[in-house]
Amino acid sequence: MLIESICIPKRQLTIVTESCTLEEALIILEESGYRCVPVLDETGKIFRGNIYKMHIYRHKANGGDMTLPVTHLIKNATKFIHINSSFFKIFFTIKELPYIAVLDNNDHFFGILTHSSLLNILSQSWNVNEGRFALTIASTGKKGDLATMSKIIAKHSDIASCITLDIGKDEYIRRTIVTLPADTTDETCQLIIKALDKKDFFVAEVEDLQNPKD
């Protein structure tokens, strides 16, 4: 994944240095409109963590000292990725965070990758804008299942995109989401579903991307 091309670089960000007081950090957060910003060292190279507006307000409401350094309430100090990190590393690190800090190969702060950027990558994987039908195909996860599915579908249509998810909750432990091209007809879609069914692949869901349900 080319993280460098999709993350927001440091020069475009609002940041707080570790020498700032909580009062100064709150002013920066209020002026920026963000609920959370990165905290860097005085050189602007080392990521220290994130500071959240709600934590400062909670501290202030409880009579806390606002002249304390911002590091007193710092969070997510170990939550970061590198510009060459894998998608799986990114996905499982960002979780509930509004963004994830990105470090370069020298462990210097490079920028942030936001949740919205990650969702855009996933939507591109589904090929929503250029697809017609998204088939969710359930299988037992046997060796060769994906190859067999692809061969069946290829007899009737191209494959615009394919994503495989492991479920593991019932006899069908794998879900493969296959997106068919924009020019695929209803008739072709039904032919594919019947052909898959004959080979014991269960099409759990069919979504028409051009006519989405509310």
Q: What are phi and psi for residue 61, nearest 5 degrees? A: -65, -30
Using one digit for the tens of pLDDT, what is the confidence trace for 49-62? 999 999 999 999 99
Using only the alpha carbons of the chain, give its radius of gyration: 23
- The predicted-structure confidence for 169-186, as pLDDT tens digits, reads as follows 555 578 898 999 999 999
Q: Which of 101, 135, 102 is nearest to 208 (CA)?
A: 135
Residue 101's nearest CA partner among 121, 117, 77 is: 77
Q: Has residue 39 got a pLDDT over 70?
A: yes
Asked whether 175 and 167 are in contact (CB, 8 A), the reply is yes
> Under CATH, domain 128-208 is a member of which superfamily?
ACT domain (3.30.70.260)
- Domain extents for the chain? 3-120, 128-208
Mean pLDDT, rounded, of the chain: 89
Cα 201 to chain center, whole Å? 29
The fold of the 3-120 domain, in CATH, is: CBS-domain (3.10.580)
